[in-house]
Amino acid sequence: MILTNIEEVPGTTIVEHYGLVTGSTVRAKHVGRDIMASLKNIVGGELKGYTELLEDAREQARDRMIAQAKELGANAVINVRFDTSSVAQGASELYVYGTAVRVEQEK
Amino acid sequence: MDIYIDPAINIGIPLLIIVIALITGTTIEKRHYRSIHKREKELLTLPVLNCKQYPVDRQVERVQFVSGSVVISIDYFKRFLAGLRQIFGGEVRSYVSLVDRGRREATLRMKEKCSDADLIVNFRIKTSSISKGRKKKIGSIEVFAYGTAIRYSKTA
């Protein structure tokens, strides 16, 4: 599965459009990470726990979108966009969407 | 007796935390900037464009969606300075270096994932504050950088 955030896949031609595909996940931080993060907050620097958490969540959302695209018979998703919103205190939703297409190598 | 000790503890402990934060925070930031400068030099050959056009005169070998992200926070001392700044107004330098570090780190992580690519097009960067501490002050930010990496085939 090829993902791009431009309107095409370089080096290929789009032969079929399948419409919008989306993937989302809502994640909450857990207490252990929260304690570590609040300690790290004193000295500053990267909060690795949170970085991993958000990476994992984005990957999951992306995987869900890819699964949906595969079901439709697509082999690429173009114009991928990300959106984040907090749904509740301490929980946030990660949303990813794009257009599923089938592309063919240019001769 | 406790009444005489309490004020000392009340001022002493936050002061101690601020001093510790000042020392460690400055060290961490300096080390981070050193690493950023070093890695930026190494990846200077990979151009990042924020437009959608790309050279079409060569054959494309591989296209890849790349992203990098980082959650970064500032130390208590800088937060304290930023709090003081809110009285007088003006540029809050301690936050400037925070977002600068975050953005550069996220961009570098994105580039490191595709160091064999020829260029990255449609580069976008998103910044959001993920945790707000007491008094709704920004404690840490998340930076997410993404783009489409293109690798041209070397034969031809």
**Is A11 within 8 Å of B74 when comparing Cβ atoms?**
no
Alpha helices in chain A (DSSP H): 31-43, 48-72
Nearest CA in chain B to A2: B64
B75 vs A43: CB contact, 8 Å cut-off?
yes
Say if residue B135's pLDDT is above 60: no
Residues 67-96 of B with CB under 8 A from A: 67, 69-76, 78
Please determine, for residue B124, whether its predicted confidence score (pLDDT) is greater than 90: yes
Neighbouring CB atoms inside 10 A of B65's CB total 21
Q: Is the CB of B120 inside 8 Å of chain A's CB atoms?
A: no
Tokens of B49: 């464009």
End-to-end CA distance of chain A: 20
Nearest CA in chain A to B148: A4
Q: What is the pLDDT of residue A89?
A: 74
**For chain B, how big is the Rg over CA atoms in Å?**
21
Taking CA–CA distances from B58, the nearest residue in chain A reads A11
pLDDT digits (tens, 9 = 90+) for B70-120: 999 888 888 888 888 888 888 888 889 889 999 999 999 999 999 889 999
**Residue B65 β-bridge partners:** B148
Asked whether the whole model's pTM tops 0.80, one would answer yes
Cα separation, B144 vs A79, in Å, equals 17
Tens-digit pLDDT profile for residues B26-62 = 898 999 999 999 999 999 999 999 998 888 888 888 8
**CATH number of the domain to which B141 belongs:** 3.30.110.70
**Looking at beta carbons, which residues of chain B come within 8 Å of A41?**
73, 75-76, 133, 139-140
Question: Which chain A residue is nearest to residue B146, measuring alpha carbons?
Answer: A5
Is pLDDT above 70 for B2?
no
**pLDDT of B136 above 70:** no
Instruction: In whole angstroms, give the CA distance from residue B137 to residue B31.
Output: 25
By residue range, what is the domain housing residue B122?
2-152
pLDDT at B4: 65
Mean pLDDT is lowest, of A29-33, A77-81, B30-34, B122-126, for A29-33
Give tens-digit pLDDT for A55-106.
Answer: 999 999 999 999 999 999 999 999 999 988 877 776 788 999 999 999 998 7
Looking at the 3D structure of chain B, how many domains does it have? 1
CA torsion, ordered B31, B33, B37, B40, to nearest 10 deg = 110
Q: Which residue is it, tokens 């990660």?
A: A94
3-state secondary structure of A13: strand
Q: What is the ipTM of this complex?
A: 0.86
Please list, in sequence order, all residues whose beta carbon lies within 8 angstroms of the beta carbon of residue A85, skipping any fewer than 6 positions away. A92, A93, A95
pLDDT band at B17 (very low <50, low <70, confident <90, very high): confident
B20 touches chain A (CB under 8 A): yes
| Distances in whole angstroms, Cα of residue A106 to Cα of each of A84, A102, A103, B84 | 36, 13, 9, 60
Q: What is the DSSP string of B97-123?
A: HHHHHHHHHHHHHHHHTTTT-SEEEEE
Taking CB atoms and an 8 Å limit, are B121 and A6 in contact across chains? yes
